Structure 1
Amino acid sequence: MSVVTRRCEVCGKEFADDGQRFCNEECRGVFMQRSRQGTRRSPGRTVARRRRRRGR
């Protein structure tokens, strides 16, 4: 029986594959922090601002 190993997407450390992408919670947090930085604000805010401007 062979153990399937996988590399962490953040640090590259190998770990046993249990359907995870990260070796620990710290790496997962780093990844989530990075992915959140590029998110835009909700489109509802933009539409509401535009409607207020048109009313002026």
Structure 2
Amino acid sequence: MSQHPSKPGGVFNKKNKWLLWVGVILMILAMVAYVATLDESEVPGRGGEPVPEEAP
């Protein structure tokens, strides 16, 4: 079997380096969206239906 010489750079070489940057930008946007919407989540025990003290 012939072995191919390994190329430096691995998967993200110069040819598809844009793919790495697209992934980085999408990850940053996802983190910003998570932090921006964190205060809009419902907090248990505030509002909504009252929780009964004892189950029947």
Query: Which TM-score applies when normalising by structure 1?
Result: 0.32
- The structure with the greater share of residues assigned to strand is 1
Q: Larger Cα Rg: Structure 1 or Structure 2?
A: 2
Q: Select the structure with the greater relative contact order (CA < 8 A; seq sep ≥ 6).
A: 1
